[in-house]
Amino acid sequence: MSSTPEIKKDAMYQMLRDGKIKEFNHYRKKGQTCDLTNCDFRAIDLQGMYAKGLDLSGCYFRLADLRGIDFSRTKLDGASIHDAKISGTYFPDDFSSDELTMSLIRGTRLRTGK
CATH number of the domain at 21, please: 2.160.20
Which range of residues forms the domain containing residue 75?
7-114
Structure confidence at residue 112 (pLDDT): 82
Structure confidence at residue 51 (pLDDT): 97
Tell me, yes or no, whether 84 lies in a domain. Answer: yes
Cα–Cα distance measured from residue 27 to residue 25, given in angstroms and rounded to the nearest whole number: 6
Cα–Cα distance measured from residue 29 to residue 25, given in angstroms and rounded to the nearest whole number: 6
Domain count within the chain: 1
Structure confidence at residue 77 (pLDDT): 96
Structure confidence at residue 4 (pLDDT): 83
Tell me, yes or no, whether 2 lies in a domain. Answer: no
Tell me the CA distances in angstroms from 23 to 46, 68, 72, 81, 83, one per residue in order: 12, 18, 22, 24, 26
In order along its 114 residues, the chain shows pLDDT tens digits of 556 899 999 999 999 999 999 999 999 999 999 999 999 999 999 999 999 999 999 999 999 999 999 999 999 999 999 999 999 999 999 999 999 999 999 999 999 866
